[in-house]
Structure formats: C-alpha cells, structure tokens
C-alpha cells in the first residue's frame, strides 16, 4: 500500500470511529475499540464469585462487627419501645431545626396520604376510594397516642399502612413525630390561645 492509501484508510477509519462514538441518533450501542471507563470488572448484586468458598459476591459483615453509624444500641430511640412499652416521649430535644426537618419529611413521606395538615385527605386517599382510607392524624384517638406509638406506626406501619423505616432514618421519624405534635397543637386551639386584645375581632 502506498503512503497516500494508508493515510486515506486512517482518515476514513477515524471518521467512522468518531461518528460511531458521537452520533446521538444511534439506537445501538456505539462501537468501542477500547473499553470505555464505564466497562470495568465489578460484581453486580447477588452475582456469583469464584473468589470466596461460598461463592457469594455480596459479603456478610464479619461476625461481631457493626458498621459505622448502625449500632442502634438504644431500643428507645431505634424502636420506640422499651420492655414491651411504647416510650412516652420523643428522645430528641425539640428545637426549631428539628421541627423544620420534621415538617420537610412529613410533607414528603406522610402528606401524600395524610395531607399537609394531617387530616387524612391527601391525594392518595382521595384517588384510592373506600378501600384505602388514611387516618385523620388530628383526631382525638391519634392525639392521645404517646410519641413511641406514633413513631412505631411511622416505622412499622399498621393494618393497611406500610412502614417507612427503610425510606427514612430514625432521626427523620422522630422529627416527623415532633412536627405531628405541632400539627396536633395547631388543631387544639381554644379561646384561651387568643390574646385578650384580639378576642373582640373573632367572628
């Protein structure tokens, strides 16, 4: 082959290679002469491995060890239950930041069913009909539950409600319960809460 022919061949193959890599309209995977960085030796979940005698690529933690941040030694704050009794009060100090965090998480995880004011009229219940009716979280029966019971329902679910232990952290759920108490307070107002100077304006 002459030098010119070699050059032409190189130019053509480069163009073919580049269009193959760059064309956004292709629906087949682009040709890879060298593997892209996304192609690397790795295990996918539950894949078999020849490296270990039990052939599991997903390893169990060594016995007697606990991953950082996953100790959960305190039953009260992890389960909301101690000696088969719901804990009476939220173990976290109630601060403005905790309430703001709880409001955020409540609006994400609870409001779709229970609504942002907790009356149970969220969009899911409205669409689902009679078979799936979220509870009104501001009714006296729920107000009377202690913090541990509310936390336990949020964690494990109850009857037709599923739990949110896997979607939220323990701290998130205690923050949600603190905020739910704020909703309880907001729906328990009496005339005594209105300053004397404003009572005349009430209709």
Q: Which positions touch ligand HEC (CB under 6 A)?
A: 109-110, 112-114, 124, 132-135, 137, 142, 150, 153-154, 158-161, 164, 176, 180
* Cβ distance to ligand HEC smaller for residue 56 or 108: 108
Helix axes 147-156, 170-186, angle to 10 degrees: 120
Kindly give, in sequence order, each residue whose CB lies less than 8 Å from that of residue 183, ignoring residues fewer than 6 positions away: 117, 118, 137, 138
To the nearest whole angstrom, how small is the minimum distance from the Cβ of residue 147 to ligand HEC?
Answer: 11
Contact yes or no for 101/177 (Cβ under 8 A): no
Nearest to 154 by CA among 166, 138, 141: 166
The residue (of 65 and 166) whose beta carbon lies closer to ligand HEC is 166
Least Å distance, CB 75 to ligand HEC, is 20
Residue 133 C-beta: closest distance to ligand HEC, Å: 6
57 versus 133: smaller Cβ distance to ligand HEC:
133
Q: What's the CA gap between 72 and 66, in Å, rounded?
A: 10
Least separation in angstroms between residue 105's CB and ligand HEC is: 7
> Which is nearer to ligand HEC, 176 or 178 (by Cβ)?
176
Give least dist CB 140 to ligand HEC, A: 12
Buried/exposed 65-84: b ≥16 CB within 10 Å, e otherwise: eeeeeeeeeeeebebbbeee
Residue with smaller CB distance to ligand HEC, 30 or 88: 88
What residues contact 87, with CB distance under 8 A and at least 6 apart? 76, 80, 81, 146, 147, 148, 151
């Amino acid at each position: 082959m002459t030098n010119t022919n070699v050059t032409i061949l190189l130019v053509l193959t480069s163009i073919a290679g580049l269009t193959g890599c760059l064309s956004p309209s292709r629906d087949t995977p682009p040709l890879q002469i060298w593997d892209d960085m996304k192609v690397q030796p790795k295990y996918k979940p539950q894949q078999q491995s020849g490296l270990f005698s039990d052939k599991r690529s997903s390893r169990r933690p060594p016995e007697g060890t606990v991953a950082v941040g996953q100790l959960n030694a305190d039953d009260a704050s992890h389960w909301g239950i101690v000696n088969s009794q719901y804990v009476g009060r939220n173990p976290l100090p109630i601060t403005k930041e905790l309430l703001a965090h709880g409001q955020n998480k409540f609006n994400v995880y609870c409001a779709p069913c229970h609504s942002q004011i907790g009356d149970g009229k969220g969009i899911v219940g409205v669409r689902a009909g009679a078979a799936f009716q979220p509870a009104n979280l501001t009714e006296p029966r729920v107000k009377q539950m202690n913090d541990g019971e509310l936390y336990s329902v949020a964690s494990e679910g109850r009857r037709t409600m599923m739990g949110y232990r896997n979607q939220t952290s323990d701290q998130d759920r205690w923050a949600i319960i603190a905020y739910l108490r704020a909703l309880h307070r907001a729906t328990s107002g009496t005339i005594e809460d209105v300053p004397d100077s404003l009572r005349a304006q009430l209709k």
